Amino acid sequence: MPQGRILYLDAYDSFSNNIVSLLEESLPVTVEVIRIDDPRFVFNDDAFVNFLNKFDAVVAGPGPGHPENVDDVGLIGKLWTLPEAQILPVLGICLGFQSLALAFGAKIRRLNVPRHGLIKAITHCKRDIFAPIHELRVTQYHSLQALLGLHNAAERVIWDSATSCPDLAPLAWDLSDASNGSILMAVRHVDLPFWGVQFHPESICSASGSSIVEAWWRETSSWLTSNKRELPQNRQDSGRASFDGPPTSVEPPISCEVSYRAVKLPTNADNKTLLELIQENEQCEPMLLESGCRKGKPLNPETGRFSIFAVHDSTSTHVRWSTRGQLLQTRTSDGIVTQRAAPVYEVYGLLESMTAQRTAVKGYPEVPFWGGFIGFVSYEAGLKTIEVQAANCSRPDIWFVFAERSVVVDHLTQTAYVQSIRKGDDAWVLDIEQKLGNMSGPEGAASSFSRGAVLSEPTQAEYCRKVRECQEHLREGLSYELCLTDQTLIQNNSLPWSLYQDIRRTNPAPFGVYMHLSGNGHGINIIGSSPERFLSWSREGICQFRPIKGTVKKTPDMTREKAEELLNCEKERAENLMIVDLIRHDLHGVEGVKNVNVPKLMVVEEYETVYQLVSVIEGNLGASKSRIAALSQALPPGSMTGAPKKRSCELLQELEGHKPRGLYSGVIGYLDVGGGADFSVVIRTAFKWDDEEVWRIGAGGAITALSEAEAEWQEMLAKKERVLGVFATSVEP
């Protein structure tokens, strides 16, 4: 007998790939995914019925919106009225559950307090799809509830069908919520093969998710057998969409050898002295990706062991793309400039193919960067990947520069690696090696600053109003979490390098950045000190996301014990959990990825000025057709959007007045010619375009149903001040 075949109806949720993975890993099935608004079937019921004949069962997934809104449920609503001969077993999850309940007489009402990212024990009937399970804790992501009618909470009657909904039998309840009362958690149709669960069995914090879908599949198989349904034969596989990049016709990769020399640095050497030495030698400003240190040692050796000084010059290759006109510009090492209109996915394919053309070998194995592209992707470029309308801007939204020469410092061993992948460049390597060997310690000269004037910044009243608007959207069921942000604009004529020195001194973090890119009429200065890795992958293909959600400011009386107590509250853990589940979804969506796992879940980490709640999500990209798909398919960063990502970003565009975030909320990092990559989230960062005198600083926070407007305002201020403070600001009258 062939494998079972399940159709998954995706309601634009940011956890869908987790559900598909749970089904394929737990059951002997293949899963095909279509969207709830698939144009082939939305207005053609006969075509939809014929299409369903290929499948043994359907899973109707979660998503934003209300089950009474036809556009929000789409094809899910058609499942409950199929002709008798075409009826299939269905498992509805969250929105799918609510649609099932509504179709058979239940009322849908808002919860008094939404339940997003909350982990709760539920009471179940110990039979049917819960037969193999005893105690059960599950993750809830919902603002609405299904009401079957009056039920006495006494255990002897809560499993009976309500007179107003005789076709639905309750299977599970949450009886623990004083604010909302008893909440229905699962049902089954008494005659038809329809099941639904309000909770999310695929969440990393839901226990027994596999057991529940296995039990549902047993019930489904039993129904198929008893109704003499034959499993379809001669099926053609069709799975999730993959990222293959644009069609390219490039020559086979040419491997180049890395020429490098290792130099033991003086104990008092620092990155400031090293950068100034390279700058003087090369007559250019190196691009610096710096790992913050304390007393000469990295703050976090896991993420911040190395600092990268990438050297670029007038012959360096540039790749730029802007949302306005989707204009792709390239300038190659021979000075040839080309430009054309191209969708954003082609940019990632181009970066990957150009990096592959310079594949390098024989570099020092532990050094993560041998050469390659360094640059950024803006928030607006990320919006384009999820088909959200972004503010069109003529400035570059993607900008990468290819660096053939670099110096990488290992802060654990206090060793600098001088490297070049340029052919016949040994003389340069030896020259820099000699100068580093003669390098003295820092001079300790104080940086000079001029006072800056704030041109515009969010007001407390306006920001708190937006927080309340976010919460109204959450109560409506349109989102689980919204990452609200705003920008402060400031004038300051201090040298960017001086400003960066103050940032790295007052707020060192694993992902510092000092960068000036210029060319073709545009130029940008970037200074920042981000604590958050967005995404990295090793040369062997091990991929890691490291989201931060949950922040406590360090004060004289804030101990680690107090910080852990604050960060382990229900609100902070819910924020972090939602992003963990979202990132698992993003990673599961990369074709060929294996072994998606969460080695660290909501762990408190200490930084120079804050304590933060951090999780780690990993997977193996070894078999992936395109490693850069892990980047492109995860943008914009979930920790800066909320979930579900697409609907949340659409709401945030309205809330933030369609003002571009620009670099803030995007990513900065590198693509290594050895096969690795590392990108950080652009937070705690300021940027300025060369043709303006204005620095832009973004800050914000995740808004949930449990948020308090005043507390969110204070959190946003605390994050902003870590960067704004270096500008020695005064408010302009």
pLDDT in tens, 46-91: 999 999 999 999 999 999 999 999 999 999 999 999 999 999 999 9
Q: Return d(Cα 3, Cα 23) in angstroms, integer.
A: 12
Q: Return d(Cα 366, Cα 636) in angstroms, integer.
A: 29
Q: Most confidently modeled of 137-146, 308-317, 586-595?
A: 137-146
Examine the pLDDT at 33 and tell me if it is beyond 70.
yes
Return the minimum-mean-pLDDT range out of 171-185, 221-235, 414-428. Answer: 221-235
Average pLDDT of the segment spanning 88-116: 96
Examine the pLDDT at 631 and tell me if it is beyond 80.
yes
The pLDDT, as a whole number, for residue 443 is 58
pLDDT in tens, 158-209: 888 888 889 999 999 999 888 888 999 999 999 999 999 999 999 999 988 9
Cβ atoms within 10 Å of 314's Cβ, excluding its own: 9
* Percent of the chain with pLDDT strictly greater than 70: 91
The pLDDT, as a whole number, for residue 624 is 62
316, 354 in Cβ contact below 8 A? no
Whose structure tokens read 């193996």?
620
Strand partners, 33: 8
The pLDDT, as a whole number, for residue 41 is 96
362 pLDDT band (50/70/90 cuts)? confident
Strand partners, 123: 173
* Long-range contact set of residues 443-450: C-beta below 8 Å, sequence gap at least 24: 443/273, 447/494, 447/498, 447/501, 447/502, 448/494, 448/498, 449/492, 449/494, 449/498, 449/499, 449/502, 449/726, 449/727, 449/728, 450/492, 450/493, 450/494, 450/728
**Topology given in CATH for the domain delimited by 4-226:** Rossmann fold (3.40.50)
* Percent of the chain with pLDDT strictly greater than 90: 64
Q: What's the distance, CA 138 to chain centroid?
A: 23
pLDDT in tens, 554-610: 888 888 889 898 998 998 899 899 999 999 999 999 988 989 999 999 999 887 778
Q: Return d(Cα 30, Cα 296) in angstroms, integer.
A: 53
**Topology given in CATH for the domain delimited by 258-731:** Anthranilate synthase (3.60.120)
Q: Return d(Cα 487, Cα 697) in angstroms, integer.
A: 5
> Residue ranges of the domains in the chain?
4-226, 258-731
